[in-house]
Structure 1
Amino acid sequence: MATEEDASIEQATSLLELLASDASIARLAAAPAPDAIKDLVLRVGTAREEHRRRESAQSALLDIARELASKEDPGTVLEAIVRRARILLGTDLAYLTLYDTDAGDTFMRVTDGSVSAEFQSVRLDLGAGLGGLVASTHRPYWTANYQLDERFDHIHTIDSAVDDEGIIAICGTPLIVESEFVGVLFAANRSPRPFSRTEVGLLGNLAALAAIALVQTRALTAAQDALSALSQAHEDMRHQAEGVARAAAAHDRFASVVLEGGGVDDVTKALSELLGGWAVLFDADGRRRSVHGRAPQDGGETDPLLEMEVVERARHETGRLVDEGGIHAIGVIASREQLGTLLVSGHGALEEADQRTVERAAVVTALVLLFERQADEARQSARNRIVADLIAARGSHADRTGYLRAAGLDPRQPMCLLVARGGAPGQHRALALSVSTALGDGCIVGTHDDEIIAVVPGEAPHALAHALAQRVNRGPVLTIGGTGPTTDVDEFPSLHLEALRTVGALNALGRTGEGAAATELGFAGLIVGADPDIAHYVRQVLGPVVDYDDARGTDLIGTLQAYFVAGGSPRHAAGSLHVHANTVAQRLTRIGSLLGTTWQQPDRALEIQLALKLRQLLEAR
């Protein structure tokens, strides 16, 4: 006769079989079983359904964050994010506060760079101070000088802690998971500092990553705990736990890459090692950005991987993994922009957990590429401000000299200023990058209005301008004017004007796309130069004839002057010189051998006549 205990065991076994057969929560709840067993199975089933729902997230880390709700402390992950925020924004300190649902305020969770015990223990009521305002409005706020900013409700305890830490400039952005407020991420400085929108956006991205890490860490821990309770009940549950472990390992690996400042090559390498095959990342232009493992070789002009249909399908399947012949591909996409394509293979069929790993790798790669772009834009914005300050002589002499030293230039050594104009307005950022790449390290390259301006070490502006024009003028045409050298930052405004005039003169003379200095433009250089060297110009035009006269005691210069005064008539020139016409002809032949066969052509003759006049003026002084 069956006992009550036997009936309970049979009910429990039947309930476990339903769980193993992937029965719905409703069926599990309706099945008879002891309350303790049913509660455990329902918790496991609920955890399994929640895990599947999380694993189905495709697009971005923020979408994953919205689906997770556990509240355990992520520990070192938040510390790494705060440390990374301080490094990326270049501030004196960074810190993160978490929302205390019981107290209704926020408390200090992690600090990096803080020295004040009072500051590290402060709590912020919603609406109080800058952080309280961020917490209550769920919007970012920033200020260049907190104590003087009247937008914020200045509470004594908060102001005292801020003053004890020495903080002046603060930027704070909320950690939000859908409508749930999690905390606030801050970056702060001990000196006045305006925060740009790019920097605010970068801090916002890190705050989003912190929210994701916070919620995901809690949810993964809960899922692993629930699955371990039934690890012996069924082989399928064990296999599922292994998948969760692989997903957690992949998450930790990718998070470590991002938070430690790794690049896309590190993400590709991690993916190859996690899956045991090869991985290739193509950029938006179809070039191999990163390769790890034994991937097919690049065919040179045509990459065999790009010829595969799976690559084209991945570009249209937004955020979804597609496969063809054992090769899996997924688009690397952010804000509907195709940043690249990720391909993996060499490890057979991908299980569901591994597919999610590839999709997560694509999301992390997109985030890293966005971080790189934002960092590049922030650095370029800083260079643009430096260039604008140099050519407008803004700020103190010491500040502008410091800009040069920070860029690797020695203000005591000669420097030249190059100005490039050309290309469409939308191309200036890319052209500035091309100029910076061509010039290499130890230079400052920025944009100002429709100009690309570079400060370059050296003493030969004409050679620098010419060399740069040859290197960058393979696409959009840039005309480049060079000026200098100088060792005085106060001369940059006048050098800038001279370089601009040189560019204008080059274009007017039909030399668009070339690089030159004013000294190379002949008489045009005397007009555009800020400090024209007339003696140099005369020497440049008439030097061979003057040297001949000095060495032989002749007067070919006088013959040349008489020839032009006579309207180019050797006979009339002979009359004014009181010599035979054949003598003048012989002298003109000698002059031609010294100045070149083109000396009588209109443009060259004009240069020579102007040099003769200027020589007379110089001798008359």
Structure 2
Amino acid sequence: MTAHLPANSPHLRLLDDILIRTATQAGFETASILVEDGARGVFIPLPHNGSHSSPLRVLPEDPLVRRALASTEPIVASDRALTHVSPRETDFARVVLLRVSDPGSSPVRLLLLGDSRPGVEFTTQHSTALLALRPLVDSAALTVLDAEEQRRRRRDLEHGRLLADERAAVVERLDDAVATADTMSAIVRVCAELTGKAVVLFDLRERMITAAGPHSAGRVSMPSLGTILRSYPPDATVGPKPIVLSAGPATDLVRRKIVTPIVERGELFGWLVLDEHPTPLRPTDEYTAARSARRIGSQFLIQRRIARVAWNAKSALTRQLVDGTGVQEDLAASGEYLGVNTEAQRVLVFIQVPDGEAEGLDHAMVEHLENSLGVEVLSTRGSEGLLLLVESSDDVGSVVSVSRVKTAVAQATAELCPPPGLIAGVSSVCEPAAFSRAYREAREVVKCMDRFSERSTHRILSVDDLGPARVFLANGDVAALRHYADDVLGPILVDDPGCADLLRTLQCWFDTGRSPRGAAHQLGVHENTVRLRLSRVRAMIGLDVVGNAADQLSIQTALLVLRFQGHPALAVLDRREEGEMGLDHAVGDRTGTAVSPPGCDRIRPGANRPNAG
């Protein structure tokens, strides 16, 4: 309630002298002033005799107190009639209560007289003397109260000045950290030094971005952000103000935490958590956490702007590399400024996505591929889709690089894009001078898949999967191509199990580089069985699949059409290989890479050939 005066204060000495004289005149041993403490709801003694605290606390609801407040006369009673909320300072045999403050004045003041001598009579003379001294007693009490109030105000002013100095020091240190290092880790480190506590910065994914302790050495120990936020008050709004989370059985926290959301321009970027270790919380800790959070929020905005500018610059550079429109020296200079190796060999990926779904996919796809492959990935987005340039590692061959890229793209699409709808074409590994050709080839692959199959699942194929036939498939008439496949393979497109085995044998033979042993291994049969089936194919369709390169191209092109259409006999191979690779919606290619199956536009075996069989 007040700031107590020192023991040698003249105001206290005056009050002490008046109380001693009052007790003597009233025939009591001691006298004290009880002052109403509205904040705690009790009457407490006003310090005197050098005593700055007393355990005596009297309840306002006490019947004796109520009688004294309602009367202008002294109220005499035994001490047992006075209700205490704390141990008695002295065991009195009798007490007298007298209201000395005027009605309506605040705080209410009572004169308490106490005596340990039982049986001593309180006479009319004592009462008259007490009433005569009441104004003097109250005046002395008011003087002490006023002096204590002045002392409290001076103390608050001094405390405010010191607090302002500390806050100014906080702002100055944070300004120096931003001017010197201009990083979030530097701000967190200064926050830890100013508070003398462990500080951790989390992002929205609950990942720890940076941490710092009060000393440069040592590891910072902090619960997960999920554990901390579970103790967040359910009715608290997420704003820029720090919140002190309690520790104890009701929460999962061992120590108290100051949690400050990183909010800038109404957007939440993360959380700054200050641990009450190794020192207790101080009044300036919340201020330091709030100011640090504001600086970190500004850093988030700045870094996002920088990242956006760098992303746009890289996107423009990627477009120039693919178009081949820039001067090589200029491209190299731009790449050096952006940290991009413009001389690296890369695999080009062209992704066609449904309208309205490309927004944000480029960032997520690049991040996923860079994390899974550990190489640099460039991207640019156009009206037709998304284009990626994936750096090829020098320590692996071209076939392995393409295989890894296809697998990573398949995993990324499964995680980032709910089916159906995504089509991707993957080029071979090529030099920067060949990016334009690689883009055309990857687009042809995508066009083939788009023309011959419905978008019921993600589909990913490479240029090598289709070979030169992709030009024919991408630009020819769809109906004519379907008739072409039926004309070439019609005799074995009948609804007969033996013919289905012939189709699967043909496909495996081409997939394994025209190897009877490789095809036999995939099919689980003997090599001679493969050779017999190929001979039977020649007898049925009239084309030399083993010895004539032109016939091989015709048959392989027809098989591609059937696979795009999802022919049941070839779909069995697709399902078997996707089970081996462990990827949903996958088709194995000759490199062993799991990719998505081409097409669901299934046709009835023998369709368009009523005389087949």
TM-score range, shorter chain: 0.3 to 0.5
- TM-score (normalizing by structure 2): 0.45
Which has the larger helix fraction? 1
- TM-score (normalizing by structure 1): 0.45
Higher radius of gyration, 1 or 2: 2
